[in-house]
Structure formats: C-alpha cells, structure tokens
Amino acid sequence: MADSALQATDIVGGYGKAVVVQGVSVRLGRKELVALVGPNGSGKSTLLKSIYGLASLFSGTVSWDGRDITRVGPEEKARLGIGYVPQVDNVFPDLRVRENLEMGSYFRRDKAAVLADMEGVFGIFPVLRERREQMASTLSGGERQMLAIGRALMARPSVLFLDEPTAALAPKIVAELFRRVRAIRDSGVSILLVEQHARKALEIADRGYVLVAGKIAMEGGGAEILANEDLKRVFLGAK
C-alpha cells in the first residue's frame, strides 16, 4: 500500500518451535498512531518481536516503504529508522541518563545533530534533563519509560514500536505519557502502541487492532472498536 510506512502480512511467529502469533497482518500508515491491544498472553509482544527480528518468524513478510525487510535484522532495522522500545529491560541501568541517550545514537556520525536531538528529547521529557547525570537505575518507573522512549528517539526513527510504555505506572503518569506519545506522533513518527490501558489507547489512536490468542479478533477505528459490545465483554472490562 502506497501510504503504508510499515506493513506486516500473515505473520506466524513464536519461540523455538512454538507458534504464538498465528497469521496476523498489521499496517502502520505514515504519521499514524495505531493501538495494539488484547488480553495478557495474547501475543502482542511476540508479534512486535517477530516483526522486528527478535523472535522466530516462521512465515509472513514485512515491508517498509515498499521495500521487503522481512529478513533484515534488528540492528539494521534501527538504522533504517524503525525503533523498538521493549516491554522490559529497556534501559541500561548502570549507565547515566545521558549515556543511555547516547547509546540510542551510537551508529550516527553527525555528533552535532545528535546533541541537538538530545535537546529535542529533553524538550519532550524535561525531567530527563534534570536527571541527565543520574544512573538510570535510580529513575522512577515513569522516568525510566521516558528514557527508553527518548533513547529510541535518538536514532531519529520514522516508525516506533512501543510495548506497554505505561505498565505499572500511576494514572497521572499514564495520562502524561500518552500526551507525549501523541506529541511524538505529531512530530512525524508513525507509532505502533501496545497497551494494557486498552480504552485510553484506543481513544488516542487513529486505528486499532485487538489480538486474542494470537489472532486479530477485530480491527478498525479506535472509536469503532470501543463501541463493540462483544469486545467489551471479552476483555475491556472497566479499564
């Protein structure tokens, strides 16, 4: 599709020989914010990892800007401009905040631009400027997520995969992070956002996918998914 930044088609993925994701297609348009929601263990993280090259990809294709990148490894994907912020272990705890951000741009040679980009990250997450010389291990949960996203931004991505950036955060911090995620999208980055806070994520997303037991149970506009009665019963609950 001409306006797709990223297109994953018929993805079958998992670990070792175990199939978790059972033939899933997702599309991410330019400057789109797309939510991927679903119950615990439904395969959301595995889908991201299969697409990115961090879990087994048994079959399916991934294309980016019309180019086939199915077999392009994770490091090369990062260089191409596809960023990925994992659900866990997403910062280097024994490095300073500034050093973590520098790690995000280690492959870039344009050092002046890197410094300018770090200022850009501090503009989005001012608390990281205050904490720039602190070890990442001393950050709060919310600050750590901001650092993980900031580090990904240092590679100047055009596409960003965010795996549950708001897990285990207080509601006030969740709302703040969602505002920042939207701001990042508004700056021109396409975002695939995996979220536990399904309702809030679908409210801010352009489109959404619901993954249940490794398959897409529903896709459509955020409001459209939220209005679906079956879905509410399946898992949205009171969230």
Ligand X SMILES: Nc1ncnc2c1ncn2[C@@H]1O[C@H](COP(=O)(O)OP(=O)(O)OP(=O)(O)O)[C@@H](O)[C@H]1O
Residues that bind ligand X (CB under 6 A): 15, 20, 38, 40-46, 87
Q: What is the Rg, in whole angstroms, of the alpha carbon atoms belonging to the chain? A: 17
Pairwise CA distance, residues 49 & 99, whole Å: 25
Q: Using the minimum distance from each CB to ligand X, give the nearer residue, 155 or 169.
A: 169
Pairwise CA distance, residues 73 & 86, whole Å: 16
Compute the CA torsion angle 165, 169, 170, 172 (nearest 10 deg): -20
Is residue 45 at the binding interface for Mg ion, with CB under 5 A as the rule? yes
Output the six-digit token pair for 157.
């991505």
20: partner contacted, choices ligand X, Mg ion, none (Cβ within 5-8 A by kind): ligand X
15: partner contacted, choices ligand X, Mg ion, none (Cβ within 5-8 A by kind): ligand X
Q: Using the minimum distance from each CB to ligand X, give the nearer residue, 41 or 171.
A: 41
Q: Using the minimum distance from each CB to Mg ion, give the nearer residue, 48 or 62.
A: 48
Q: Using the minimum distance from each CB to ligand X, give the nearer residue, 42 or 190.
A: 42
Question: How many positions of this chain bind Mg ion (CB under 5 A)?
Answer: 3
Residue 167 C-beta: closest distance to ligand X, Å:
8
Distance of CA 79 to the CA centre of its chain: 16
Residue 187 C-beta: closest distance to ligand X, Å:
27
Q: Which of residues 25-44 bind Mg ion (CB under 5 A)?
A: 44
Is residue 105 at the binding interface for Mg ion, with CB under 5 A as the rule? no
Residue 55 C-beta: closest distance to ligand X, Å:
7
Pairwise CA distance, residues 156 & 83, whole Å: 8
Distance of CA 218 to the CA centre of its chain: 20
Q: CB of 15 within 8 A of CB of 56?
A: yes
